[in-house]
Structure 1
Amino acid sequence: MRLPDLIRLTTSSFLAYRMRSFLTALGIAIGITAVILLTSIGEGLHQFVLSEFSQFGTNLIAIQPGKTQTQGGNAGIFGSVRTISLEDAEALRHLPNVEYVNPSVTGNAELRANGKTRRTTVIGAGHNLPQVLSSRMQSGSFLPDDDPTQARAQVVLGAKVRQELFAGQNPLGSYLRIGGQRYRVIGVMEPKGQMLGFDMDDTVFIPAARALELFNRPGLMEIQLSYKASADLNSVTRAITARLKDRHGREDFTLIPQEKALEVLGSVLDVITFAVGALGGISLLVGGVGILTIMTMAVSERTAEIGLLRALGARENQVLTLFLGEAMLLSALGGLAGLALGVGIAQGLHLFIPALPVHTPWLFAVLAELSAVSIGLAAGVIPARRAARLDPVDALRTE
């Protein structure tokens, strides 16, 4: 049997049984659509979460009070013999490979300006916060490099706070009250957006020493430290640990490298993406059962045709190839239709719901198509072998 004859015989069955072929391919198409749609949403979520966490850079280490215990969770400031302090932050500035250090205290307070009142997040920070968290100024300047114990009453506004309290005005040089204390506005931050529900623009920044007084806290909530991109993370963490242990007498603090956190988060999100893709893959198995059923029926209906082919000299492997080709072609066409449908639905969702992160991973798309063809091949093996082993004389008698 020549190759053109094999192709013609394979495709002729689709034309003879159009509805049956369509419904068989539809089962595979629905499975591929489910895989593409779910993995597109999963991968979009993956990229969105990683971008949210990495927008402040990856060469970061957060230092928190309290030693993480084996039962999980951070002991925090209440489980620590000694809190981390402004002096600790200053001591870390002089370590090798350390670029910038930012002491951080966060709380909530009421702001008053121009007869308006707004309750928002107040962040106590150092003068290096823009460098540590990759932030930029829209106007004015950030907090100056003052003596921590003599910090001036100055404030930098987030973009939303500036709009709410000083709409249509230049706030630089104006005054506002934070928790009853008077602060002078020296700068406005560029819009940063939200990070996992936390609005970075609805904040104000004051010196960390004044935030400790405002919130009546004995120590910092966190020290954020950025290090050189060329530096070895383990060397940096060892130097930090040694310096703080010298100051505290014990390891009563926790280091959280952003790089390690992103690696763990990426691994978790990879598993989630794979899991949702596997759920969609169940539909592919259902489609494979459909191909198995249809091909079994096709062998029964075309027994006489098989007998005639064998009588005319077709070998067993040629009949086997004929039916396997039909099964693979059905699954391949269904897979291509599913790819187009899945990508179309995913992009349509993103078009109508822009906030929904959608990204089609083409590796998954290729694997889904290969899986569809493989399932078609596997589902067609049993019917094809049955057809190839039919006795030509017995097959012709069914006519």
Structure 2
Amino acid sequence: MKAKDFLRLSLSAIASQSLRSFLTALGIAVGIAAVVLLTAIGEGVHRFILSEFIGFGTNLISVTPGKTTTTGSIGGIVTNVRPLTIDDALALERVRGVKAVLPLVQGNAPVKVANLSRRTTVQGVGHQMPELWQIDVANGRFLPADNPNHARQFVVLGSRMAKELFAKRSPLGELIHIGGERYRVIGIMKPKGQMLGVDLDDTAFIPTARAMAMFNQEGLMEIILLFQKAMDPQIVVERIRDTLTRIHGSEDFTITTQDEMLNKLGSILNIITLAIGGLGGISLIVGGVGILTIMTISVGERTAEIGLLRAVGARRRHILLMFLLEAIGLSTLGGAAGLIIGAGGAWLLGLLLPTLPVHVSAFYALLAVAVAFMIGLVAGVTPARNAAQLDPVEALRTE
């Protein structure tokens, strides 16, 4: 038998039972569509989070208190961990290659204006925050370069907070109470959005030392550094490490570059995307069971046809190949339909919900189709082998 004969017989078998073939392919199509749609959402969120993260600069280095690597201390007890201080941040400003330093403390406190009151995020920051986080002041000015240990009680409001507290009235020069202390508003930031779950538009920015006192913190939560783009980040990291080790007497801090942060974040988001796609992949398994069932029924119904083919010279491998092509054809048709439905659904979802980031990943789409092809192949093997092993004489006697 020629290859075109196998293809013609397989396609005619699919076409002769159109409803049954449609329902079988539909099981695969639903699985593919689910995988494409769910991974499109996962990939969209992945890209959105990474773009938002990169939007705050790519040449950043983070220093946090405590050492994350395992040491040789008995029982794993960490001793003599010195907190990061404002003086540490001032020392890092003098490191060659560092452009800006942000000593950061964050907490939640009540903000009161006249008869209005609400709790919100309060960040203790330095005067270089706009340069470091690439966020601009809309009105007024940002915190001045005061003595960081004795800064004046100034506050800069996020765009949303200023609007909710003062409506259409300008807050510049007004006095507000934050955590029971009085601050004068000197600036309003431009809208920036969220960074790692913190809404910067709904945040009050005050001097770092004031925030440390407000939240009763002995040290900084983090020191973020902006270094010159022309510099090798590893060289800057070594200079930072040498400077802080000399001050602290030991390496009781952790330094993380922006690339390391992005790699860790990307790995986590990839796992989430794969997990979401795996949920849709369950439908593919169900579709594979459907193909196995239908092909088994088909072998039973076409026993006489198999006997006739064997009688006119078809070999066992020809029968095996014919039924395999039929199973693969069903899964491929379902895969193509599912790909169209999934991509169309993702496009429609992005149209109806513009705030939901959706991106169809070619990798996951092609992977889903390849899996559908393999499912059709695997699901068709057993029925095809059963058909190929039928005795031609006994098959011809079957009505």
TM range (shorter): 0.7 to 0.9
Larger CA deviation: 54-63 vs 234-243: 54-63
State the alpha-carbon separation in 2 of the partners of residues 46 and 131 from structure 1. 26
Contact 2:86 2:149 (8 Å CA) reproduced: no
Change over 3 Å in CA distance of 1:283–1:165 after alignment to 2: closer
Which residue in 1 is equivalent to 2:234? 234
Task: Find the aligned partners of 2:342 and 2:325 in 1 and give their Cα distance.
Answer: 25
Matched, 1:280 2:276: no
Change (3 A) 1:91 1:6: same
Change (3 A) 1:383 1:209: closer
Equivalent position amino acid for 1:137 in 2: V
For 1:261, the aligned partner's letter is M
Tell me, in whole angstroms, the C-alpha distance in 2 between the residues paired with 1:40 and 1:46: 10
Equivalent in the alignment of 1:299: 299
- Contact 1:124/1:210 (CA < 8 Å) preserved in 2? yes
Count residues with an aligned counterpart.
393
Work out the CA distance in 2 between the residues paired with 1:350 and 1:135: 28
Residue 30 of structure 2 corresponds to 30
Q: What is the Cα deviation at residue 163 of structure 1?
A: 0.5
Distance in 2 separating the partners of 1:260 and 1:336: 39
User: Mapping of 1:195-274 within 5 angstroms?
Assistant: 195-274=195-274
Contact between 1:80 and 1:253, CA under 8 Å: does it hold in 2?
Answer: no
Partner residue in 2 for 1:99: 99
Deviation at 1:280, TM superposition (A): 3.0
Alignment of 1:384-395 (within 5 A): 384-395=384-395
Unaligned ranges ≥5, structure 1: 72-77
How do 1:15-26 and structure 2 match up within 5 A?
Answer: 15-26=15-26
Q: How far 1:347 moved relative to its partner?
A: 4.7
TM-score normalized with structure 2 length:
0.85
Q: Distance in 1 between matches of 2:113 and 2:346?
A: 46
Q: Alpha-carbon deviations, 1:253-297, whole Å to 9, x = none?
A: 333334323212322222232233234333323322322232232
Q: Per the alignment, in what secondary structure is the counterpart of residue 122 of structure 2?
A: strand
Cα distance in 2 for residues equivalent to 1:275 and 1:214: 42
- CA gap of 1:164–1:10, structure 2 versus 1, over 3 A, is same
Alpha-carbon distance between aligned partners in 2 of 1:381 and 1:50, rounded to the nearest angstrom: 44
Residue of structure 2 equivalent to 1:371: 371
Q: Distance in 2 between matches of 1:397 and 1:149?
A: 99
2:381 match: 381
Q: Which amino acid aligns with 1:87?
A: D
Cα separation, 2, equivalents of 1:216 and 1:320: 76
In 2, distance between residues paired with 1:119 and 1:79? Answer: 36
Deviation, 1:393, is 4.1
Contact 1:85-1:220 at 8 Å conserved across structures: yes
Q: Does residue 191 of structure 2 align to residue 188 of structure 1?
A: no
Q: Deviations over 1:308-340 (max 9, x none)?
A: 334444444443332222111111111122223
* TM-score relative to the length of structure 1: 0.85
> Which residue does the alignment assign to 2:74?
none
User: 1:311-350 residue pairs with structure 2 within 5 A?
Assistant: 311-350=311-350
CA distance in 2, matches of 1:377, 1:250: 61
CA distance in structure 1 between the partners assigned to 2:314 and 2:68 by the alignment: 73
Cα distance in 2, alignment partners of residues 254 and 11 from structure 1: 64
Aligned pairs (5 A) from 1:22-171: 22-68=22-68, 70=70, 82-113=82-113, 116-171=116-171
Query: Cα deviations across residues 352-388 of structure 1 (Å, max 9, x unaligned)?
Result: 5555544332211111111111221222233334434
Residues in 2 aligned to 1:149 and 1:264: alpha-carbon distance in whole angstroms: 34
What residue identity is the alignment partner of 1:370? A
| Range moving further from structure 2, 279-288 or 345-354 | 345-354
Aligned-residue Cα RMSD (Å) equals 3.0
How many angstroms apart in 1 are the aligned matches of 2:100 and 2:166? 31
Partners of 1:374 and 1:179 lie apart in 2 by 62
Change (3 A) 1:320 1:192: same
1:91 Cα deviation from its structure 2 partner: 1.1
Greater displacement, 176-185 / 117-126: 176-185
| More divergent stretch after superposition (80-89 vs 133-142) | 80-89
- Structure 2 vs 1, CA of residues 145 and 332 (structure 1 numbering), >3 Å: closer, same or farther? same
**Alpha carbons of structure 1 residues 397 and 118: separation in structure 2 relative to 1, 3 Å:** closer
* Aligned mates of 2:244, 2:360 — CA distance in 1: 46
1:31 CA drift (Å): 2.5
Give the counterpart letter for 2:266 in structure 1. G
* Residues 60, 224 of structure 1: 8 Å contact kept: yes
After TM superposition, the structure 1 stretch with the greater mean CA deviation from structure 2, 89-98 or 112-121, is 112-121
Contact 1:114-1:165 within 8 A present in 2 as well = no
| Deviation digits for residues 127-177 of structure 1 (CA, Å, limit 9, x no counterpart) | 110121221222232222233245333322111221123221233344434
SS at match of 1:148: coil
SS at match of 1:41: helix
Alpha-carbon shift at residue 225 of structure 1 (Å): 0.9
CA distance in 2, matches of 1:346, 1:289: 27
Shift of 1:40: 2.9
SS of the residue corresponding to residue 201 of structure 2 reads coil
Amino acid at match of 1:90: L
State the secondary structure of the residue aligned to 1:146.
coil
What do the CA deviations read for 1:68-117 (whole angstroms, capped 9, x no partner)? Answer: 4749xxxxxx9765432222111111212222101122234444446544
